[in-house]
Amino acid sequence: MTELNSFPIRRLRRFREKEFIRKILQENTLNVNDLIYPIFVSEDISEKQVIQSMPGIYRHSLKSILYEIEKCYKLKIPAVAIFPVINQSKKDNEGSEAFNEKGLVPKVIEKIKNSFPEIGVISDVALDPYTSHGQDGFVNMRGKIDNDKTIQLLCRQALVHAHAGADILAPSDMMDGRIIEIRKHLDANNFYELPIMSYSSKFSSAFYGPFRDAVKSTNNLSGKNKDTYQINIANCKEAFLESYIDIQEGADFLMVKPGMPYLDVLFNLTQKVFLPVFTYQVSGEYAMIKNAVNNGILTESAILESLISFKRAGARGILSYFAIEIAEKISS
C-alpha cells in the first residue's frame, strides 16, 4: 500500500474541478468599463472605408463615426480615442493643420460631444498624421527633430482640442518636456481641470504598421524610423524614467504602448507608481490576433485572453480595436 505522505497534500486542482469554484477564485475580470475604443476618421470620405491591414476596422466619415459612437454608447463603453486621417494636400513640415480650429479633429470632438455628451473623448496630441514627413515633430534645416519647436506646436494643438471639448488630452509624441509645457499652457487658458494622459512608455515598435496604413502616413515616413524619440524596444528602466519625469511634470494618467510585448513594463510600472496606468493594444497586435482568428489558427477566446493579460498586469484602462466586439460578448 502506498504511504499517505507520498501523495501531494496540496492539490491545486481542487481549485479548478468545479466551474463555480473557478468563477469565485478568478482574480481578474474584464469589464466594459475597462475599454476605450480607438476610432479613425477622415473628412475625405462620405461613407466608412475598409482598412485592408485591419480586418473589421474602418476609416469613418463625419457621418458614419456617429453610428460607431452610438454602438459604444449602447454598449456602455465609457470612452473613445480619436485618430485623424488628413488629406495629403494639408500636410506640411510643421503639421500646421493640427492647430486649425476648424479642422477635422475639432469638428469630430464637437459632433461627438453634442450627440453623445456622456461618452469620454480622448484626443491624440501629436503631429505625425499632419506632417509631410510622417514624423511626430518639426524637422529643422539639419534634418533633425526639433524637440522644443515641436513642443510649441503641440501646445497650440492641445489648446485647440481643449476648446473643442476634448475630455482627456493624450500627448503621444515622446518629446522631452512636453507634459509640463502643455500643462502650463492649459492652465494659463483656464483649462485647469482638463487631464493629460501621457504616452510615457511608448516604444519604437514594429507593431504600429497597420496604424500608419490606417492614417495614411506610411508613405510620408518613407521607411524612416522614430528611434531618436521613442524608447528602445530592449529597454525597461528607461520607460520607468520617462514615466517618473512625466509624473513630475504633471501627467494625470500614464500609458504603456504597445501592450502585450511590454507586459513586463506595464506590470512593473503599476507596482511602482500610484497614478492610473493605461495600455494600448495597438494595430499590429489587433491585426495579428484578428487574422489568426479569421483563418482558424486561434479561437475567438484568444481575444479575451489578450485583454485579460492587461488586467492581470495592472492596467486601469485598455485601448483596443476589439472594444466593441468584446463588449458585445461581455454584455450578452
H or E stretch including 50? Answer: strand 49-50
- Residue 202 falls in the annotated catalytic set: yes
> Per-residue b/e over 117-142, b at no fewer than 16 CB within 10 Å?
eebbbbbbbbbbbbbebbbbbbbeee
Q: What is the DSSP letter of 202?
A: E
Q: What are phi and psi of 213, to 5 degrees?
A: -65, -45
Structure-block grid coordinates of residue 49:
472605408
**Which one from 111, 202, 226, 290 is the annotated catalytic residue?**
202
d(CA 280, CA 193): 24
What sign for the dihedral angle of Cα 288, 294, 297, 298? positive
Helix (H/G/I), strand (E/B), else coil: 92: strand
Q: At which residue does the C-alpha cell 477635422 appear?
A: 104
d(CA 292, CA 285): 11
Residue 325 makes CB contacts below 8 A (sequence gap 6+) with 56, 303
Please check whether residue 252 is in contact with residue 196, taking contact to mean a CB–CB distance below 8 angstroms. yes
Q: CB neighbours (10 Å) of residue 235?
A: 15
- Residue 257 falls in the annotated catalytic set: yes
Residue 307, CA distances (Å) to 28, 31, 316, 320 in order? 11, 10, 12, 8
CA 320 to chain centre: 7
Q: How many CA atoms lie within 13 A of 240 on its CB side?
A: 13
d(CA 178, CA 171): 8
Active site residues: 202, 257
